[in-house]
Amino acid sequence: SDSPCLQGHLNRISKTETMEGTDMRTITGPSELIRGEIDCFLQAARRRSEYDPVPRRRTDRRYHRSWPLQVRIAGIEISTALHNASRNGLAFLSARPVNPGTIIFINLFCHDDDRPRVPAVVRHATHNDHGYLIGCEFLLEDYLCSQAVGQ
């Protein structure tokens, strides 16, 4: 596949010491895999994107770029468009609202179904002229990341 950073994910192997020697088949934990997916996505989003020159109250720079996303909400897939992204979350445009507090799973590289989905919690749904701006915070709890990797 020509997806960005895919080779980096294939190389995310950790060594596990056992009584019999070193086991090289142990894959990095699910939260580390998801953090790698987010970092890969941000690396790609930074290219040809605009960013907030004044961070205001934010600790992380937001990158503005239109990018297709697939979002799974309660088992239902919707196509959305990225509005902005940072290390800790993103906002996307949606035709319908999503309630704050809802856990969603985002395919950051929607053209590649083999990529893990990233769990996030909706923080706000703001109505605008284009539908709704949905702001999300990435979640890196192992139980959610395990679900995301298994999807």
Ranges 23-27, 50-54, 136-140, 143-147, most confident: 136-140
Q: Would you state the structure tokens that stand for residue 55, as one six-digit string?
A: 């961070």
Phi first, then psi: give them for residue 122, nearest 5 degrees.
Answer: -75, 125
DSSP letter string over 37-105?
HHHHHHHHHHTT-EE-SS-TT-SS--EE---EEEEEETTEEEEEEEEEEETTEEEEEESS---TT-EEE
Q: What pLDDT digit, counting tens, does each position of 61-98 carry? A: 667 777 899 999 999 999 999 998 888 999 999 999 99
